[in-house]
Amino acid sequence: MAAATHSPSSRSGVPADPFITLGVEPGFEIDLAALERRHRDLSRALHPDRHQDKSAGARRQALSRAIEVNEAFRHLRDPVLRAEALLRHLGIDAAEGQEPKASPELLMAVMEGRERLAQARAAKDGAALSTLAAEVAGEERKTLAALGEAFADARQHPSEHRDRLLDLLGRLRYQRRFLEEAALIEEELF
Amino acid sequence: MVLLDIFDPKAPPKPIGIDLGTTHSLVAYVRDGRPVTLTTCDGTALLPSVVHYGEHGSILVGAAATSYATRQPERTLQSVKRFMGRGAKDVDPEELGAYRFKRPESEAEAAVVRFDLGQGRSVTPVEVSAEILRSLKQSAVDQLTHVGGVVLTVPAYFDDAQRQATRDAGRLAGLEVLRLLNEPTAAALAYGLDQKKNGTFAVYDLGGGTFDVTILLLDDGVFQVKSTGGDSALGGDDMDRLIAEQMLVAMGCTEPSTRTSEVVSIALDAARQAKHVLTDEDRVVVQLPKRGGGEASYELSRATFDSMIQPLLERTGRVCRRALRDAGSSASAIDGVILVGGATRVPRVHSYVEELFGQKPLGDIDPDRVVAYGAAIQAELLAQASDEVLLLDVLPLSLGIETMGGGVDKILPRNLTIPAGAKSVFTTYADNQTGFEIHVVQGERELAKDCRSLARFTLKGIPPMPAGMARLEVAFDVDENNLLKVSARELTTGIEQHVEVKPSYGLSDDEVEQMLIDALDHGEEDFAARRLVEARVEASRLLLATRKGLLDDGDLLPAEERRRVDAAMEELEAAVQSAGRAGVVQLKLDALDAATHDWAGRRMNRAIQAAIAGKAVGEVEKDVAQAEGVEAHLERHGHRAGDEDTKEAR
């Protein structure tokens, strides 16, 4: 058996648009505090705790809508998932593997980064690990800013910006995975 | 037996909270806005989680049972919480304990741990826990007369199997389980509502057998869990085992053959007492019986004890650091540390936590009672369907499915806010394949075999198709109790798949029902009577809630629908009065449910609009026309005459 996709819950089998679920203006730059408030407000109305006294059917409805809201929130909070949702919203297929071939310069950076990570791990070098993580975190910040700009530009003619957006998304995915791995190694060693 | 337990609005049943702990259990309720513990059968608030099965069928719970611990250790079961949701394979043969386990005779039997009581009797951890819960329920009934639903607490790090087992124990004890609540969250709820403090808090919960750490954000009635971590096999009992190991050597019992249940039980009991003494004293000297006669003197200093438990504490430290990272927080960002669980009274634990978080833990909480208080508060809030408090908890362990190569495909990552759900689409690999199996696991490891196996879901009834054409959408939903539900649909035909669940652990619904029947004196008869009472109580509750709902949102019901709802309510009332079987009442309950289905959706839309607009639901009357949503709006304008009726009916 092959699992094709994992997607936020929705009623029809098509991934629900998290922007619509939460009633948020689609965009990459997002006010996280406002998003949290919106999530909380919706949770107040939909959380199963509020519907304890209702019939089984009403409780099921509330539960399924609460799940949708939580899933939508999770997708908008994480920049990679948010970018993916936004791309879907713009009609661009953003599944992994759809990215245009990575530039040689990016590939080199990826390989170097991985080597340094492996070395730091083998040598149990905490300082090298921290330095490396800080560098990549800096790169991640730049990628996030670039994505914000690219999405803003893409509003009018999304398909024209497809390659650039997918390239930036690819970088972001790599950078975040790298930081996760570095965190795991740190946990493992210390 | 009291048959008539009809819901009387003037004396409503009192909801209660129960902390089912490894070493002690408590029951509490809210009186005049404050949580209070009830007196247990021992006359105290804390009931030892110990059950003694007498040779002639008697069952003792609490202090009376504890007195048999060293005399009849194999019939006196303690700390069974550690075995909830566990199979025979999970038992560590090296670990010190006075239990005698029954060797499983079949694959099915191996799914659940069984304690051998001798004379052919054996019990499961669920049954033992049910005895404790039954005792607490009786205490509650004795003091409150009418007992409503119960909120049962569980360690935050309990997986699905352990939670299901806890819920089964509740059902077996005849309790209506309203919610399974995580212990650290319960503690934070009690503390937060009492102290009215806001900020980011860490709850460090070290109980008898389990360790949890939860990072929460408290913000004016909102309790949002950011992350949770733990170890469901780490607690005060492990400290006892370290000491007991040394004591056994002093007693001359180094060989496994010398370590009978009685001997081990004596050592564990002495170890626990020594640990308690070291809370206040710098050293303790214990006289122990020596093998071959006479006595041995065993001395333990606090300094030695502290170094013995350091590795255990470091394990908790690693878990705390990960939880902080998962929460995107750090020790310096924590505004307060709440200590929960008896083991946090050990001075070294207290100082270790202070070092870990760089601050003194908060002092104004009773670590033994705070969880029960939180459970009682949540029970009260649920019974009122209150919106005063918003509790947002998380999934503690990732859920995934086993892939072809034995790896794990993560579907729901840990620390996801619950309720949560995700869908996966599968396809068939052979022509005309009509079924297949999905193995669901829980945990953070890479390989499925290293994770907790939850269940195998078999999907049947897939329409015959060429390989790769079927689109099987499997929905994994985790509800507010942190329990998993699986459902499946074949997308090309839209057929709801029959999903058979074969749990890897524990009892099926049928087995629990059979145990309930067996436990009652008149078996089937009493069971049916109990079901009828439960159905009538649920019906009365629903009728009351529906009437209240009509007062608030009756305007969302066009005349025709309203008539159907009124009719369904009348039929349900009639059934409550005269029905002889639960099934009849259930039918009418389902009918009312169906009649109010669409209305429920509209009410939810209104609540959402109100929430987004930042207003309380009641204030929204004037904006109804805009807030209702398209459907209701059209109905209003399409049914002029009906409109007037609806208004009048309010």
What are the chain A neighbours of B321 within 8 Å (beta carbons)? 187
List the CATH number of the domain containing A129: 1.20.1280
Where along chain B do the CATH 2.60.34.10 domains lie?
Answer: 399-508
What are the chain B neighbours of A1 within 8 Å (beta carbons)? 404, 426-429, 436, 438
For A52, the closest of B382, B475, B491 (CB atoms) is B382
B488–chain A nearest CA distance, Å: 11
Tell me the three state secondary structure of residue B412. Answer: strand
User: B563 or A44: whose pLDDT is higher?
Assistant: B563
C-beta atoms surrounding B286 within 10 Å: 19
Mean pLDDT within A94-103: 65
For residue B478, the chain A residue with the least C-alpha distance is A67
pLDDT at B614: 62
A69–chain B nearest CA distance, Å: 9
The yes or no reply on domain B14-234+324-390 and CATH 3.40.50.720 is: no
Residue A89 lies in a domain: no
Which residue numbers of B are catalytic?
19, 81, 183, 205
Q: Domain check: are A129 and A177 in the same one?
A: yes
Q: Would you place residue B426 in the very low, low, confident or very high pLDDT band (cuts 50, 70, 90)?
A: confident
Q: Is there a contact between A9 and B475 if contact means CB atoms under 8 Å apart? A: yes
For residue B488, the chain A residue with the least C-alpha distance is A13
Interface ipTM: 0.82
* Least reliable range by pLDDT among B279-283, B364-368, B561-565: B364-368
Residue span of the structural domain in which A121 resides? 104-189
The yes or no reply on domain B520-649 and CATH 1.20.1270.10 is: yes
Give the total number of structural domains in chain A: 2
Q: Domain check: are A184 and A138 in the same one?
A: yes
Q: Is there a contact between B404 and A9 if contact means CB atoms under 8 Å apart? A: no
Where along chain B do the CATH 3.30.420.40 domains lie?
Answer: 14-234+324-390
User: B398 or B609: whose pLDDT is higher?
Assistant: B398
Q: Domain check: are A60 and A108 in the same one?
A: no
pLDDT tens for B529-553 read 888 888 888 898 899 889 989 998 9
Q: Domain check: are A69 and A126 in the same one?
A: no
Give the CA distances from residue A101 to residues A93, A97, A106, A114, in Å, rounded to whole numbers and listed in that order: 15, 9, 10, 19
DSSP letter string over B386-409? --S-EEE-B--S-EEEE-TTSBEE
Average pLDDT, chain B: 87
Q: Would you place residue B630 in the very low, low, confident or very high pLDDT band (cuts 50, 70, 90)?
A: very low
For B422, the closest of A7, A42, A57 (CB atoms) is A7
Closest CA to A98 of A82, A86, A84: A84
What are the chain A neighbours of B592 within 8 Å (beta carbons)? 55
Asked whether B151 and B27 are in contact (CB, 8 A), the reply is no
Where along chain B do the CATH 3.90.640.10 domains lie?
Answer: 236-307
Asked whether A186 and A129 are in contact (CB, 8 A), the reply is yes
Where along chain B do the CATH 1.20.1270.10 domains lie?
Answer: 520-649
- pTM of the predicted protein model: 0.86
Q: Domain check: are A182 and A141 in the same one?
A: yes
Kindly tell me if the per-residue pLDDT of B108 is higher than 90: no
pLDDT at A95: 64
User: B637 or A99: whose pLDDT is higher?
Assistant: A99
DSSP letter string over B201-225? EEEEEE-SS-EEEEEEEEETTEEEE
pLDDT at A99: 61
User: B10 or A47: whose pLDDT is higher?
Assistant: A47
Share of chain B above pLDDT 90, in %: 60
Which pair of structure tokens corresponds to residue B313?
A: 């504490």
Residue A91 lies in a domain: no
Q: Would you place residue B497 in the very low, low, confident or very high pLDDT band (cuts 50, 70, 90)?
A: low
pLDDT tens for B307-318 read 999 999 999 999
User: A15 or A54: whose pLDDT is higher?
Assistant: A54
Q: Is there a contact between B390 and A57 if contact means CB atoms under 8 Å apart? A: no
Share of chain A above pLDDT 70, in %: 87
pLDDT at B596: 93
What are the chain A neighbours of B428 within 8 Å (beta carbons)? 1
Span B236-307 CATH architecture = Alpha-Beta Complex (3.90)
Span B399-508 CATH architecture = Sandwich (2.60)
pLDDT at B502: 62
List the CATH number of the domain containing A60: 1.10.287.110
Residue A152 lies in a domain: yes
Closest CA to B314 of A130, A124, A190, A181: A190
What are the chain A neighbours of B611 within 8 Å (beta carbons)? 41-42, 44-45
* Residue A81 CA, distance from chain mean position: 3
Mean pLDDT within B583-593: 92
pLDDT at B505: 66
pLDDT at A13: 42
Q: Is there a contact between B392 and A43 if contact means CB atoms under 8 Å apart? A: yes
For A9, the closest of B224, B404, B422 (CB atoms) is B422
Q: Is there a contact between A7 and B423 if contact means CB atoms under 8 Å apart? A: yes
User: B264 or B107: whose pLDDT is higher?
Assistant: B264
Q: What's the sign of the alpha-carbon dihedral B252, B253, B255, B260?
A: positive
pLDDT tens for A116-131 read 999 988 998 888 898 9
Q: Is there a contact between A9 and B411 if contact means CB atoms under 8 Å apart? A: no
